[in-house]
Amino acid sequence: MPTNKATPLYGIAAEFDDADKLKQAAAALRKAGYTEVRAFTPYWVEGLTELLSPRTFNFVPYLAIGGLFLGLLAGFLLQYYTSVVSYPLNVGGRPLNSWPSFILVTFEVGILFAGVGTVLGFFLQTNLPLPYHPMFNAPRFELASRDGFFLCVEVTDKKFNLDKTKALLQSLGSLNVSEVPC
């Protein structure tokens, strides 16, 4: 789908037959110096992530650990405040701050916060949910959720040149190369 001059361009998309050709094309684009390349596949392709973005920082484990410690602290402090400050109740002569009885709830709240941190981190890391993406305008892109494999070189790439990038993608054995409007 050619774009007119008034429509800004998101990038150039190329469709491939299978995952192996997609990986070969991604490796060739990486070797050519392209860095802003995105892949869209119906399933996870082993090794593709390293070809497209080898230096991505994964902050999800740090959010999970932070959530765990925050949950442990929140669970303990909630029980401490309830038992010692808000509603002190002497049962059987035990001290008000009977921390061994707080262990189970503290652990459960810690796991809950770690799970919430993991899910939030996943959504932040993957930019989901994404109700609209410019690639939805690419021809035949609906195949990306069934059996299509797509690579898109974005215009924000330093090496992006409309004609040269198109020619390179066509030379890599793609089925279809098209411009993707924003």
Measure the CA angle with vertex 39, ends 36 and 41; round to 5°. 170
Name the percent of the chain lying above pLDDT 90.
62
Count of domains forming the chain: 2
The DSSP call for residue 8 is P
| 2 in a structural domain | no
Mean of pLDDT values over 108-119:
97
Is the preceding omega at residue 129 within 30 degrees of 0, hence cis? yes
* Residue 2, pLDDT score: 53
State whether 111 and 148 are in the same domain.
no
**Domain shared by 167 and 119, yes or no:** no
- What is the H or E stretch that residue 113 is in? helix 103-126
Residue pointed to by tokens 């390179």:
168
Shared domain for 64 and 122, answered yes or no, is: yes
At 181 the three-state DSSP class reads strand
**8 A C-beta contact, residue 154 and residue 14:** no
pTM of the model: 0.69
| Mean pLDDT of the region 79-97 | 89
Q: Are residues 65 and 37 in the same domain?
A: no
pLDDT at 130 over 90: no
| pLDDT surpasses 80 at 160 | yes
Residue pLDDT, tens place only, 28-78: 999 999 989 999 999 999 989 888 876 678 899 999 999 999 999 999 999
